[in-house]
Chains A and B, each alone.
Chain A
Amino acid sequence: MGKFLVRRLLNYVVLIFLATSFAYLLAATNLYPRGYFEQMQPPPTPEAVNAQLDALNLNDQTPLAQRYVTWLTGVVQGDFGQTIQGRDVTDQVWLKAGVTLRLITVATILGSFLGIAIGAYAAVRQYRRFDKAATVASFVVLAIPTVVIALSVQIGATAINGALGFQLFLFSGEYSAGFRGEWWELLLNRLHHAILPTFVLAVALFAAFARYQRNMMLDVLGADFVRTAMAKGLTRRKALLKHALRTALIPTITYFTFTFGLMVAGATFTEKIYGWHGMGAWLIDSISQQDVHVVAAVSCFMAVTIMIASFLSDILYAWLDPRVRV
């Protein structure tokens, strides 16, 4: 078991390294930082532009291999280089990663738990009213892109706020600018801002999970071991929870790893639309500003989160499925 996890972990480190390097090379060859400086007002001299680019290790006249090695030496020492405005990327990564992680973690836990619970219950009540309602709800939500959900929720919130005459829902920013107060007031203010974006992300995840868990649960419900569990005298509730649900969770755990990547991308859109200064919003801004180092850093962050999710699901898998543990 320990060996299995260590081997997995090593493989992940290699994958993260390759993914980040690939993102850097792609960004370095396709983005055009020179253009960012050339369009400044007043236009700087070519020598000044070159000096700037050299200082940032972004000069497209330096061979790509040399730029890559310089960048990589920095990354190995925990330094992701500088943004195109000359600020330290690594410092900002910690700030922005916190914002994104708060959003993703809460939404993932909320969405997957709700989805699994509702999906499993819908399977037990197959073809009853609850099942039908859950199926329709998840089908409709699955048909709407996260971007559209985020926008629609925002529009709805505006309408409700307008009708009520005060700000029941907040949908711009992570906290009120210039807000001062006790620590619990600050916390409340942040929570208030977090409600809608978290809801948007959780809803999208919920639909996928409810659908998947229902199918997996249905596969298991008719299985012999569930019947045996009930035959040996377990209550229906216990047989369903301890035997059926536990088995049906195994494929869902694998599914979780795959959806997490989509979740991170979905968080990008949600952050941008709700004005959160997280990794996703940073990525979109940096691409329009031709900021190579930020793109590489955000890619690394995304790869790491996906790998953490996948590592967690490996552990959960081993916990749920005794066959893996030997």
Chain B
Amino acid sequence: MSTTETSPKTTAGVPTVPPTPSRVKDIVRQLVGTPRVIVGLSMIALLLLFAFIGPLLTGWDIGERDYLALKSPPSPEHWMGTNATGQDIFTQASAGLQKSLLIGLLVALMSTAIAALVGSFAGYFSGIPDRALMWIADLALVLPSFVVLAILSKHFGGDGGWFVLVILLAGFSWMVTSKMIRGMTISLREREYIHAARFMGVPSHKIILRHILPNMSSLLIADATIAVSTAIIGETSLSYFGLGVQAPDISLGVVIADGSRFATTAWWMFLFPTLLLVILVLAVNMIGDGLRDALDPQSKSRRS
């Protein structure tokens, strides 16, 4: 954070200062000027279209089997071919994409929220709460998350079971961000406007929620974007061993795992879902990287 930047609140009452430039307008201008973000956003838009309109376009249901076309290559009937049991890859991939997107978004939201709360409380209070919270973060970093997820994978089945997976994925991905937020909170804590709020008797939790966290919103948004792709990749890796989303739910990882066993004999089963996944993660990463450059004042210096 640069020290010259002041929040609009502190300058609002002073008439001699020219009107503060709108931060939102500034950011939008910068985002439009970053081709990465635009390309990423349009790729995401196309993927969303594919995920939500795709299943309506084909005549096939997710689980439906076409016994006349087992393991058949792409054709007018099955646009991305079928798998060994005759299920339509296009339908499966689009449905899987839906769930993968949903998992990614939810995990990112949750883990960023946990990271923001833990990091800012630890940084603001210091002392024992800080030590305790950071120790928990350290412990969570040491716990092999893959082991925990794999052991608990039997709970991912059934109705809403995928939500358990979301909670666990989020529970293992907040630590690094929370440490970063803690560091920033410590430097923000000594700013004049925080002191002012404290001397006016604003309770600590309000200071954190209303003054400290909004000040880091740009960083939080950029980080949440990166968390989306991390979660999607994590889910895919788990699904490869059958430890991720369980049937009847389907995710992109499940489709890829199914296809990988036939990757050399029936390339379409592996190639199409994998391509979708790579494009999805690439798009999310491009947006996240562009956002970070546009929003993070620290990184601005390096772009000039």
CB of B278 within 8 A of CB of A295, answer no
Q: Which of A147, A218, A222, A307 contacts B237 (CB 8 A)?
A: A147
In the docked arrangement, what's the CA distance between A270 and B243, Å? 16
The verdict on B1 contacting chain A, using a C-beta distance below 8 Å, is no
Q: Does more than half of chain B's interface fall in helix, strand or loop, or is it mixed? A: helix
The verdict on B260 contacting chain A, using a C-beta distance below 8 Å, is yes
The verdict on A92 contacting chain B, using a C-beta distance below 8 Å, is no
Q: CB-defined interface of B229-244 with A at 8 Å, one 1/0 digit per residue? A: 1000100110011010
CB of B299 within 8 A of CB of A215, answer yes
In the docked arrangement, what's the CA distance between A306 and B175, Å? 15
B-contacting residues, A261-315, CB 8 Å: 261, 264-265, 268-269, 272, 283-284, 287, 295, 298-299, 302-303, 306-307
Q: CB-defined interface of B276-304 with A at 8 Å, one 1/0 digit per residue? A: 01110110011001000000001101100
For A148, the chain B residues whose CB sits under 8 A away are: 236, 256, 274, 277-278
In the docked arrangement, what's the CA distance between A22 and B139, Å? 10
The verdict on A27 contacting chain B, using a C-beta distance below 8 Å, is yes
A94 to chain B, nearest CB (A): 19
Q: For residue B155, which residue of chain A has the nearest CB?
A: A30
For A250, the chain B residues whose CB sits under 8 A away are: none
The verdict on B146 contacting chain A, using a C-beta distance below 8 Å, is yes
The verdict on B24 contacting chain A, using a C-beta distance below 8 Å, is no
B155 to chain A, nearest CB (A): 8
CB of B264 within 8 A of CB of A303, answer no
The verdict on A230 contacting chain B, using a C-beta distance below 8 Å, is no
CB of A15 within 8 A of CB of B142, answer yes
CB of B141 within 8 A of CB of A258, answer yes
For B150, the chain A residues whose CB sits under 8 A away are: 283-284, 287
In the docked arrangement, what's the CA distance between A30 and B150, Å? 10
The verdict on B202 contacting chain A, using a C-beta distance below 8 Å, is no
In the docked arrangement, what's the CA distance between A192 and B261, Å? 25
In the docked arrangement, what's the CA distance between A199 and B141, Å? 26
Give the interface segment out of A81-89, A106-114, A138-146, A234-242: A138-146
A-contacting residues, B98-148, CB 8 Å: 138-139, 141-148
For B263, the chain A residues whose CB sits under 8 A away are: 151, 155
The verdict on B23 contacting chain A, using a C-beta distance below 8 Å, is no
In the docked arrangement, what's the CA distance between A144 and B270, Å? 13
For B302, the chain A residues whose CB sits under 8 A away are: 215, 218-219, 221-222
Q: Which of B143, B154, B241 contacts A272 (CB 8 A)?
A: B241
For A287, the chain B residues whose CB sits under 8 A away are: 150-151, 243
The verdict on B12 contacting chain A, using a C-beta distance below 8 Å, is no
CB of A299 within 8 A of CB of B282, answer no
In the docked arrangement, what's the CA distance between A158 and B263, Å? 11
For B285, the chain A residues whose CB sits under 8 A away are: 139, 142-143
The verdict on B46 contacting chain A, using a C-beta distance below 8 Å, is no
CB of B142 within 8 A of CB of A303, answer yes
CB of B152 within 8 A of CB of A269, answer no
B-contacting residues, A201-258, CB 8 Å: 215, 218-219, 221-222, 258
For B277, the chain A residues whose CB sits under 8 A away are: 145, 148
For B274, the chain A residues whose CB sits under 8 A away are: 148, 152
For A31, the chain B residues whose CB sits under 8 A away are: 151
For B146, the chain A residues whose CB sits under 8 A away are: 265, 268, 283
CB of B139 within 8 A of CB of A15, answer yes
The verdict on A188 contacting chain B, using a C-beta distance below 8 Å, is no
In the docked arrangement, what's the CA distance between A215 and B292, Å? 11
In the docked arrangement, what's the CA distance between A101 and B53, Å? 47
The verdict on A16 contacting chain B, using a C-beta distance below 8 Å, is yes
For A16, the chain B residues whose CB sits under 8 A away are: 142
CB of B229 within 8 A of CB of A306, answer no
The verdict on A75 contacting chain B, using a C-beta distance below 8 Å, is no
CB of A295 within 8 A of CB of B151, answer yes
CB of B298 within 8 A of CB of A306, answer no
B157 to chain A, nearest CB (A): 14
The verdict on B167 contacting chain A, using a C-beta distance below 8 Å, is no
Q: Which of A23, A144, A146, A152 contacts B143 (CB 8 A)?
A: A23
CB of A147 within 8 A of CB of B236, answer yes
A269 to chain B, nearest CB (A): 6
CB of B281 within 8 A of CB of A143, answer yes
In the docked arrangement, what's the CA distance between A215 and B289, Å? 11
The verdict on A95 contacting chain B, using a C-beta distance below 8 Å, is no
CB of A269 within 8 A of CB of B240, answer yes
In the docked arrangement, what's the CA distance between A143 and B288, Å? 12
With A155-B263, A264-B144, A307-B142 as known contacts, state yes or no: A146 contacts B237, CB within 8 Å: yes
In the docked arrangement, what's the CA distance between A307 and B281, Å? 30
The verdict on A19 contacting chain B, using a C-beta distance below 8 Å, is yes
Going nearest first, the 9 A-B pairs with the smallest beta carbon separation are: A143-B281, A143-B282, A218-B302, A302-B144, A147-B240, A145-B233, A19-B142, A265-B146, A145-B236
Instruction: Report 29 cross-chain contacts, Cβ distance below 8 Å, ordered by A residue.
Output: A15-B138, A19-B142, A19-B144, A23-B143, A23-B147, A23-B148, A26-B148, A26-B152, A30-B152, A139-B282, A142-B229, A143-B229, A155-B263, A155-B264, A158-B264, A215-B299, A219-B301, A258-B141, A261-B144, A265-B146, A272-B241, A287-B151, A295-B147, A295-B151, A298-B147, A299-B143, A302-B147, A303-B142, A306-B142
Given A23-B144, A148-B277, A261-B145, 8 further pairs, Cβ under 8 A = A11-B138, A22-B143, A26-B152, A145-B277, A147-B240, A222-B301, A258-B176, A269-B237
Which residue numbers of B lie inside 8 Å of A, CB to CB? 138-139, 141-148, 150-152, 154, 176, 229, 233, 236-237, 240-241, 243, 256, 260, 263-264, 270, 274, 277-279, 281-282, 285-286, 289, 298-299, 301-302
